Amino acid sequence: MKLNSITFIGGGNMAASLISGLIADGYDPTHITASDPNKERLAQLAANFRLRTETDNDAAVQNADIDRLVKPRFWNPVVRDIAGAIWRHQPLVMPSPLE
């Protein structure tokens, strides 16, 4: 079975909970990337889950099969950042529910 690569744009509590659940269900953390501007938060996610981290949203989604957007209030600038990669690669984009 091919594992899809998943990128979480936003590395906060919601992303950490979803990542934790995926890994608890046996998902390989090497197929998960978290992107966030907070380097300390990314270091914590990498230490806890052994996943790939990125501060550049565009770089994070370059090869992702699924992109999970968190924090709806940041969608506009994030989507502008990753629009080119989404257009080229055409992953499944999953926005989180509105706050």
CB-side exposure of 57: number of CA atoms within 13 Å?
23
Chain-centroid distance, C-alpha 12:
10
Q: How far apart are CA 64 and CA 59, in angstroms?
A: 10
CA 70 to chain centre: 8
What pLDDT shows up at residue 39?
96
| Domains of the chain by start residue, with CATH | 6-95 (3.40.50.720)
pLDDT mean by block of 10 residues, the chain; 99 residues: 80 92 94 94 97 92 78 69 72 62
Q: In the prediction, which pLDDT does 48 show?
A: 96
Per-residue confidence (pLDDT) for residue 57, from 0 to 100: 87
What the block records as the tokens of 17 is 């909970």
Rounded Cα distance, 87 and 10, in Å: 20
pLDDT number for residue 25: 94
As a whole number of angstroms, the distance between CA 6 and CA 9 comes to 10
